[in-house]
Amino acid sequence: MMGPSHALSGASVWLAGSWALDRWAGYEQSPLAVAVGTAVCAGSALLPDLDLSGRVTANRGGATVARTFGVLSLFLAEVIEKLSLAVYHATKLRKDPDRTNGHRTLTHTLPFTALVGWGTTVLCASYGRWAVVGVLFFTIGLALRGLFEDWAQRVGWAAVTLVATAAAFGTYVALPPDRGYPMLGFAVGVGCLVHLLGDVVTSAGVPILWPLPVRRRTWRMIGVPDALAVRVGGRVEVIVLRGAFVLVALLAVAALYVPAALPPPLR
């Protein structure tokens, strides 16, 4: 899937999950907490594609994500891609093909998802609000790039960085002090997981079983068959899937905050 679809899927999953927790588990969150979680999850749903360095075709998939913070994130993407490629070659088995690019390898695995989610939680628990600001800045920047792609391209990376900084500090001021913020790490993990699911429905697939060896391969790409696969950037993705994500997000927000606006069966 392309960037905006990944970001939208992250936002809608977080909103729907917040509604479900509220309704079935009695877990209430303030509107700010839901908004922060949604932004972090939407941004993190783009994180795995930071393994696409800037030399790939313009405006395709994660390439735009790599430009979120200008040269800095382009460089980061280059490092992540090379690191992923190194891990690929270090853990590949005989039947795994050779590769020259690390896209859709390490950052598209379940261990990576768990690691960044857990790492974020540890970071926020150890360093408190300053770590929270860093996580917010980074993920809100990615979310802006993904959710408002046209705007982000028009105004450029410096403006995106500025808005992400302002949003991160605004949230910093409003957040209650002295907490572990475990939901933040959870939102990062859920975002990455939603990204993997989004890529599974395309024909290229993702190495979701890594590092389990299956028939002399650790990097088997798991995706749906070509006939059923969602074409990247095609009509099903842009109209049907994005439409469904927006609808779910709107319904969840309405159910959480203005249930009277919904027909009785949905309240």
Cβ-based nearer residue to Zn ion, 88 or 181:
88
Cα–Cα distance, 52 to 59 (Å, whole number): 11
Cβ-based nearer residue to Zn ion, 49 or 96:
49
Picking from 252, 249, 126, the residue whose alpha carbon sits closest to that of residue 182 is 126
SS3 66: helix
CB 198, min distance to Zn ion, A:
7
Cβ-based nearer residue to Zn ion, 221 or 252:
221
Picking from 220, 194, 195, 197, the residue whose alpha carbon sits closest to that of residue 209 is 220
CB 15, min distance to Zn ion, A:
22
- H or E segment and range at residue 137: helix 110-147
Q: DSSP letter for 60, please.
A: S
Cβ-based nearer residue to Zn ion, 178 or 226:
226
Tokens of 176: 């209650």
CB 89, min distance to Zn ion, A:
20
Cβ-based nearer residue to Zn ion, 43 or 48:
48
CB 2, min distance to Zn ion, A:
10
**Residue 67 identity:** R
SS3 214: strand
Burial of 118 (C-beta count, 10 Å sphere; 0-12/13-18/19+): middle
The residue ranges that bind Zn ion (CB under 5 A) are 48-49, 199
Cβ-based nearer residue to Zn ion, 129 or 220:
220
CB 104, min distance to Zn ion, A:
6
CB 224, min distance to Zn ion, A:
15
CB 50 within 8 A of CB 77: yes
Cα–Cα distance, 192 to 13 (Å, whole number): 12
